Amino acid sequence: MRLITFTDDKSTRIGILQKDQIIDLSAAAPDIPNEMVAFLEAGDAALEKARAAAGTQATIKLSDVTLESPVLRPPKILAVGLNYREHVEETGRELPKVPIIFNKQSTSATGPFAPILRPHESVAMDYEGEMGVVIGKRCRRVPKDRYAEVVAGYTVLNDVTIRDWQRRSPTMTMGKSWDSHCPMGPSIVTPDEVDISKLELKTLVNGEVRQHSDTSYLIFDVPTLIEHLSTAFTLEPGDVIATGTCAGVAAAMEGMPWLKQGDIVRVEIETLGAIENNVVDDDGGVIIE
């Protein structure tokens, strides 16, 4: 099952993606929440009703809606640094002995085909294609062998990074958290539909393949990450874990070809689908509401 959040002229709500058609869960299963975090919080009962609805007639064309981030405002976006050996090598760093964890602010989440904004405060804008894990259950101290109990599904994301701001301080938060810098989607693919042990991953800029690897090369796998994170704090429904990127980032390439206005960045992961985002210069100023 591929769970999505979408907007049409009526509202923003959740559905099930079936090729180029959508089953609107607000119509097919009106007694379950129509917002993703609330839906996940409703637990197995809501999930089973959604599965039952998956057998009904799709009523909306994909081309008639806007796909949003599957989780509009994740409670937490937790990311993993240096989690592919070749990426560690291209940075000149040592292999980590424990997962390197940082946060991306929830306001960085945006849709799978929405623009990503290049800030005028920097020209060092980079891409990082990654597999995302969406948490489905509130949990703490989850042992590796029980990780599957807490995963709602998997998605595609781009951990867009402003490199000079990332390197200004010992923590990475300021370089990783700009608005629109975590596009994700197009859907949350439930675990029964995907084997994450070896999924091909590609990142393309204007059609040029910049990153190419697969998830079998993760240094710390998903069970290890969930055990590690949940040891320290509670994971909640809708939390997203960005599992790390592979080699090929602009920061490690000759000439450092940073993203610029008009570039198109596409991240593809086998079975999970693809996201594609245009780079648009952010000419915004002060906002006080």
Please tell me the predicted confidence (pLDDT) of residue 50: 97
Tens digit of each residue's pLDDT (9 = 90 or more) over 103-155 = 999 999 999 999 999 999 999 999 999 999 999 999 999 999 999 999 999 99
Overall average pLDDT of the 195-217 stretch: 98
Overall average pLDDT of the 79-104 stretch: 94
Q: Is the pTM of this model over 0.85?
A: yes
10 Å Cβ neighbour count for 263? 18
Taking phi over 0 as left and psi of -120 to 50 as alpha, with beta for the rest, 183 belongs to: beta
Tens digit of each residue's pLDDT (9 = 90 or more) over 2-51 = 999 999 988 999 999 999 999 999 999 999 999 999 999 999 999 999 99
Average pLDDT, the chain: 97
Residue 205 scores a pLDDT above 90: yes
* Residues contacting residue 246 through CB under 8 Å, at least 6 positions apart: 84, 86, 87, 129, 201, 211, 212, 213, 217
Percent of the chain with pLDDT strictly greater than 70? 100
Find, among 219, 226, 231, the residue nearest to 241 by Cα: 226
Please tell me the predicted confidence (pLDDT) of residue 289: 93
